[in-house]
Structures are given as C-alpha cells and as structure tokens.
Amino acid sequence: MPGFAQSAWNTIKKQTKLFNSYTFREPNMQSGLDTSPPVHRWMKDSLDRTAFHKSLRVLGVCVPATRTTTILKSEPLKRYIIDLPKIRSVIWDPSGEKDRRVVLLKVTEEAALSPEARSFLKEQCADLTEHMVDLKYDYWTADEILQSILPEALCDDSPTGFSITGHIAHMNLNHKYLPYKHLIAQIILDKNPTIKTVVNKLDNIDTKFRFFKMEVLAGEPYFVVEHRESDCRFTFDFSKVYWNSRLHTEHDRLVQLFKPEDIIADVFAGVGPFAIPAAKKGCAVLANDLNPDSAHWLTKNISTNHVSDLVRASCEDGRDFIRNAVLRALQDPFPAYPGPKLRRMQEKQQQRRRRQEQQPTGINPPTMESPLAPNLSSRNEVTQFVMNLPDSALEFLDAFQGILAPLAEPEGQLSGIYSTMPMVHCYCFTREPDAYKAEADIRQRAEKIIGAKLEEARLYFVRAVAPKKDMYCISFRLPRNVAFAR
C-alpha cells in the first residue's frame, strides 16, 4: 500500500515539474531597451492592432561587409550585439552603399560601451550611427499584448493557455476574464497561424454523452477537425464528441502496456484514441460508445486508419457492453496475431490493393498473392478492459459481476481460456490531494461497487483537472470470484 501511493506521488512530482517548465516570455529589458508593448488598457470590445507600435533608438556599427564577422565575434563587442527576437542584428547600410553593413547594438549611446569595446571600434576604424528599430503588433507575443491591455488586477495570471485540436484552440477561461473573451480569442487567433477557430468551454455539460458545450469566440464556426496523434489520423465533430488533447501522453502510456496478442474491450471508446493506436500495434479491439456521434466518427476513423480487420465498433450502454464483450469474443473470434513480420507484409498488401482501387477504369495491374498466414489459433479471450469515463466509470464496475458465469456450465468450459482474468483500467476523479488518501478513496469506492477486494491494483496519476480535483487511472486484475459470481 505505501509503495502504491508513493509511486503515484512520484508521478505527481514529475507532472508538476513538467508543467512548471512551460513559461511565458517576459517583456525583454536589455541594457535600458524597453521592448514591452505600449499600454492600452482602454481596449475591451475590439482590438486595434495599429495602436501597438514602438520605435527604439539604438547604436549601430557601420563597417565594410567583409569585416562584419569580425565585429560579431569580437570579445569586447559580443555582449553588446542586439539579440531581440525577430530583429536582425546585421542590416544593410541605410545610406545605400552595397559594400557596407550596420551591426546593431543594444545600447543607446557610446558611453554605455566599455573602454575595451570603444578601443576595439577605434582600431577597426568603425563608424557609430544611430538606427531606429520599429516594433509592431506582430513582434509581441499573445501574453505580452494581453498584459498591456487587461486591467492590472487581471495581469497576474495569464489567460493565454489553451489546448489545440486540429484547427481549433480550446480555452477554459476563468469567469473574471469573460468580459475580455473576444479580445483574448482574437489575439490567440492572430498569434497562431494554424488555428482557425477559438472556442471557450461553457459550464454546462451534456449529461448523457458527457461532451462539453462551447461558444465560438473568434474565427470560423466550423467544428469538424482532423487531428493526428500516435501516428493515427482522427476526424470528428469537436462540438458533439469528447476529446482532450492533453491526454495524449496517457493514451500512449496505456497502449504501451498492451501486447499485440491482446483483445481490448474499450467500454467508452469515444472516437478511438485508445482503440485505434492499439489496433495499429496489432491488438484486436471491441470499441463501444453510447454517443451516436462518437460511434459514427469512430467507425470513420477505423476505416481511415485501415484497421477494420481489428476493430469492431458498437453503440450501446456501457453495462450492456461489459456483460456481452466476453460472449462476442467467443462467438466471433478475431484472427490470430500473425507476428510483426507478417503483419507488415499484410499492411503492404493492403496498401497495394488501395492503390489499385484508385487506378482509373481499365486494365488493372496483376494482383500479387497475399502471403500464406501460419496456422495459428484465433483470438477469443478479452484480456484488457478500458473504462475512460472518469466522471462515472467507477459506477459501472458492478457490471463485471458474473460476466463469465452464463458461459461456464460447468465452469470448466472456460477454464482453459480464462485461466488468467482480464486487466481492468478504470479512470476516475478524486478530491483527495494527498497521494495516500487518494489511493484509499479510489480503492474503497472501487471495491464497494465491484463487491470484492482488488487484486494486482496500481494507481496512476494522470493530471490535475481543477483545484482539489485530480484524475487517476486504477488498474487491477478482475477478481475471479466476481467474474464467475452467480
């Protein structure tokens, strides 16, 4: 038990360290150069980009083009070379002489240079000249622009955080920023060329299908996205299904635990973030979701990623799916896993067939024969259950009661197949901030609902969702007495 909780706590510390590594660029103050944007706290309803302009007077070293490198690499001057983002340190001589360059410095007067630097410039017979560096709206980051617009009381926490799904930036704005939501969204849109739509999550959640309702703050009101993750391509309507790009690491972590020979029963499959990468690995998957829109896009993504032979989609209640998954795998087994080498050969055959199908009408090139598969037994044993519905997945654990009992008349009929019970990976929330208390809370709730002590249980911290609300995954071996309960 202590080791179980300590493992979760170590994961929390790693996640926190990773989160803290992402910081915003502060306004750049270099040797008296104030590069912060002009302050315009009057902006609220509309964004005036032309108001963001600043000219900086700096010194430049005018030298023949052949001596530019000497100036840039000289020790006395190296620390004075301008190094502002998006600003070139070497420019053409404004006088128009083609064989001369100007090396810009980050000082405004010669007195700011060290005696060694002034002596070096004298030795090089270099001329000092004034130059104006113009900074415009495009120069500053979204965070810097917002810091100059928002009231000072709102500048402590940056509201520029968002997740990206396809062409959509998904924000979850705190209520204090809502009066400025359209301004914030427009700046996000400006500063991220790949984003076409900015939306904000609303408080109300669809109670049946659990996707977040949202409002468009800027950009095109188009929600069908194409998103790439784990070498897979997912297409779906972001306004009608659940998707969280921040769970990419968790999707990958769990799929890495699966063996290619496994049969996965994905109870709340969504559009396939677990099911399709698992199938790409070679796993067979029974994938289910109650939301008809999720089931629709899941079916499309199965076809798009060419795993139709390994993933079977359904649209039904999670409890019914859990109770029927074992019987479905028995009555309609999946082909045996052919091994990595043969699997690659089969994929190449599929690619050839797809290319031939795209050929114009007429005589097609001869089709190569598929390699003969080895004589392996088919797969008919569900080895992993995935329950990714953290808000209520624990409540579905009672559906495992007796899932093998109707097929065991007598019980020995299944003993050869289910000599080892399936693993269950159940996502959930807890409001216990302490790792030990979180473990005790989740284990107690799970054992109460499933009706037995958990075996081989491990708890994994996924992410902090909100203050005093963390997401975990509890993985355990399905108790045999639960599976065969009568």
In a shared domain, residues 221 and 99? no
| In-domain check, residue 58 | yes
170-186: average pLDDT: 92
Question: Which run of H or E residues covers position 343?
Answer: helix 340-357
Residues 192 and 255 in one domain: no
pLDDT exceeds cutoff 60 at 93: yes
At 376 the pLDDT is 59
**Would you say 318 is a known binding-site residue?**
yes
Q: Return the pLDDT at 126.
A: 87
Q: Identify whether 11 is part of a domain.
A: no
User: In 3-state terms, the chain is what percent helix, strand and coil (to 5)?
Assistant: 35, 25, 40
Same-domain pairing of 215 and 323: no
Q: How confident is the model at residue 228 (pLDDT cuts 50, 70, 90)?
A: very high
Annotated binding residue 251: yes
Residue 309 belongs to some domain of the structure:
yes
Are 292 and 172 found together in one domain? no
Same domain, 115 and 170: no
- pLDDT for residue 377 is more than 90: no
Cα 12 to Cα 472: distance, rounded to the nearest angstrom: 11
The secondary element (H helix, E strand) that includes residue 136 is strand 127-136
Among 111, 135, 159, which residue terminates a domain? 135
- Is the preceding omega at residue 360 within 30 degrees of 0, hence cis? no
Q: Are residues 398 and 255 in the same domain?
A: yes
* Residue 329 shares a structural domain with residue 447: yes
pLDDT at 367: 42
Give the model's pLDDT for residue 15. Answer: 42
DSSP E strands in 362-480: the ranges are: 384-387, 423-430, 455-466, 469-477
**CATH code of residue 450:** 3.40.50.150
Q: Please state, in angstroms and rounded to a whole number, the distance separating the CA atoms of residues 338 and 376.
A: 8
Q: Is the pLDDT of residue 382 over 70?
A: yes
Q: Nearest Cα to 150, choosing from 180, 173, 188?
A: 180
Number of domains composing the chain? 3
What pLDDT score does 224 carry? 96
326 belongs to a structural domain: yes
- 219 is an annotated ligand-binding site residue: no
Render pLDDT for 125-142 as a digit per residue (tens, 0 to 9).
888 999 999 999 999 999
Give 212 or 218, the one with higher predicted confidence. 218
80-90 pLDDT, tens digit per residue, is 999 988 999 99
The pLDDT of residue 306: 95
402 contacts 451 by C-beta, under 8 angstroms: no
pLDDT of residue 357: 61
Does residue 351 lie within any of the structural domains?
no
Residue 429 lies in a domain: yes
Q: Residue 358 above 80 pLDDT? A: no
Residue 317 labeled ligand binder: yes
Q: pLDDT averaged over the chain?
A: 86
Residue 388 known to bind ligand: yes
Residue where a domain stops, chosen among 135, 153, 169: 135
Average pLDDT over every residue of 318-346: 87
Q: Are residues 107 and 147 in the same domain?
A: no
Which of 195, 229, 263 is the endpoint of a domain?
Answer: 229
Do 131 and 146 have their domain in common? no
Q: Is 332 annotated as a binding residue?
A: no
pLDDT at 411 over 60: no
Same structural domain, 153 and 124:
no
Predicted confidence at residue 318, as pLDDT, reads 96
User: Residue 103: which domain range?
Assistant: 54-135
> Residue 341: its pLDDT value, please?
63
Closest CA to 457 of 444, 441, 445, 475: 475
On whether residue 276 sits in a domain, the answer given is yes
394 shares its domain with 277: yes
Does 480 reside within a domain? yes
CATH number at residue 198: 3.30.300.110
State which H helix or E strand residue 201 sits in. strand 197-205
pLDDT band at 227 (very low <50, low <70, confident <90, very high): very high
